[in-house]
Structure 1
């Protein structure tokens, strides 16, 4: 297959680095410089991207378009592309929910072919190697896989259903990013009372990720009757320290959905998740 021309929309720190990897298997990677900041221009130059003057020119030249922008802008950008009736492969790789991804597919199809993408990991620079998860039509997904073959961007196909890659990205991000916020709250509370180093020492004894232990969800549900009030107490402690308590209060509200399975040792993961979704 001939090497495609790739268009990158809004080359931010992630987008520009991803686009740079695509250069290895593309005839060219182009970006639209109109209305972009000096920082975007410098980034595009750093990664060897080819500037074009307008979005129209980018779309006319591109066989594959990659959308990687702030989540809030994803649909507006797709509207702009749809107005030009782009008829190539459109990789929707933003951190947006599956419903929004489906709406964007509806905007661009049938003229364009949509591949749903989700990037997990850091930008592919300084030895980093993120994974680009893909879902969508087989032929189009294979074109994206070929685009990043033998580059720092690894690809994984999840099937043909639009929304799967977006769901995986957000499921992981919901844990990974929220856990970072929880670290800030925990250390902030401990520091207020002069025990932050002791907290770090306690945590250092355990290095596994809770996300790798989903079987523990059932035990969490069975203990929710105790854990909920404990988190309310912790939220009060955060508030007293001038730190935001809302995240812990929300967690306590979530635990309340399991109030009727107190100390249930027979509860399974499936049961717990069903009760969480349908209280």
Structure 2
């Protein structure tokens, strides 16, 4: 490819993604203005070309990839829009679909916006994350070509901006919250001296409920029992000076299925009931 890529900004994920893009791009740029010495060190490590200002980076870039803290994504896109960028803008941050669509509205029609989301660890040391893409077909094909043959896998979800963001947050809501739940479970067990036994119990099951969506219907059918049980667990957490809010929220979610009887709902019905109590 003879296209130039700009990365905003080279954090641990962004710099590694940019390095993969460099395999097929003519050049990969980053903006020095306002960045830390750590960012500069990462950019240098991965062979990225520094540019003094954002306008200079945008002027030379055919493709811009935005990978920054989620809270900064919209303001960064606004800065790019004010410049009048006309290339392909990959919004690859962990933001909700509505924000992704707002960013697309900011940048279009001058730029072509691709909604992107990275699932997995930075592509270093043998790691192979997937960059999910949704947006105009010609633009997503361009991004697929940019990462062809690299440690970054790509997968196109369709032409609708928001799909990639939705997948990322759907996965993250489980992947990240589940780790907090592990902390709460182990913390509660340790408070009562049964943490080793907890690990023994858990080790008997190694699969993930996330890979078994049919289990949602089973959860719904047991909600009338599980909700009060989680309220009890929340009380126990509070008594151990551990935060109970997550379990109380789970109990509140289960309450939407309180009227379901054992085995009564299908997966579709359970999901519908959850969305429209």
Give the distance between the partners of 1:222 and 1:239, measured in 2 at CA: 27
| Aligned ranges 1:120-131 → 2 under 5 Å | 120-131=119-130
Partner of 1:266: 264
- Structure 1: how far apart are the matches of 2:45 and 2:184? 37
Match in the other structure for 2:62:
63
In 2, distance between residues paired with 1:34 and 1:268? 54
SS in structure 2 of the partner of residue 260 of structure 1:
coil
Looking at structure 1, the residues matched to 272 and 222 of structure 2 have their Cα atoms a distance apart, in angstroms, of: 17
Partner of 1:154: 153
State how far apart, in whole Å, the 2-side matches of 1:45 and 1:77 are: 22
Q: Distance in 2 between matches of 1:198 and 1:46?
A: 45
SS in 2 for 1:119: strand
Instruction: Show the 5 A alignment for 1:11-50.
Output: 11-50=10-49
- 2:23 partner SS: helix
Mapped to 1, the partners of 2:202 and 2:5 lie a distance apart of 45
Distance 2:24 2:178 in 1: 37
Q: Which residue of 2 aligns with 1:98?
A: 97
Q: Superposition pairs for residues 62-141 of structure 1, below 5 Å?
A: 62-141=61-140
Contact 2:11 2:39 in 1 (8 A): yes
Matched, 1:241 2:260: no
Q: Distance in 1 between matches of 2:45 and 2:197?
A: 44
Q: Tell me, what secondary structure is at the counterpart of 1:188?
A: helix
Structure 1, unmatched stretches of 5+, are none
CA distance in 2, matches of 1:148, 1:116: 16
Q: Which runs of 4+ in 1 moved over 3 A?
A: none
Structure 2 partner of 1:182: 181
Aligned to 1:165: 164
Give the TM-score taking structure 2 as reference length.
0.99
Task: Summarize deviations over 1:107-145 as a string: whole Å, max 9, x none.
Answer: 000000000101000000111000000011111000100
Hey, what's the Cα distance between the residues in 2 that align with 1:169 and 1:39? 27
- Partner SS for 1:69: coil
- Secondary structure at the residue paired with 1:132? strand
Partners of 1:110 and 1:87 lie apart in 2 by 8
Mapped to 1, the partners of 2:197 and 2:14 lie a distance apart of 40
Matched residue count: 277
Alignment pair present for 1:51 and 2:50 = yes
Matches of 1:140 and 1:218, distance apart in 2: 39
CA RMSD, Structure 1 to Structure 2 (Å): 0.6
| Distance (Å, rounded) in 2 between the aligned partners of 1:138 and 1:52 | 30
Counterpart position of 2:142: 143
- The equivalent of 2:275 in structure 1 is 277
SS of 1:118 mapped into structure 2 = strand
Distance (Å, rounded) in 1 between the aligned partners of 2:172 and 2:159: 22
TM-score, normalising length: structure 1: 0.98
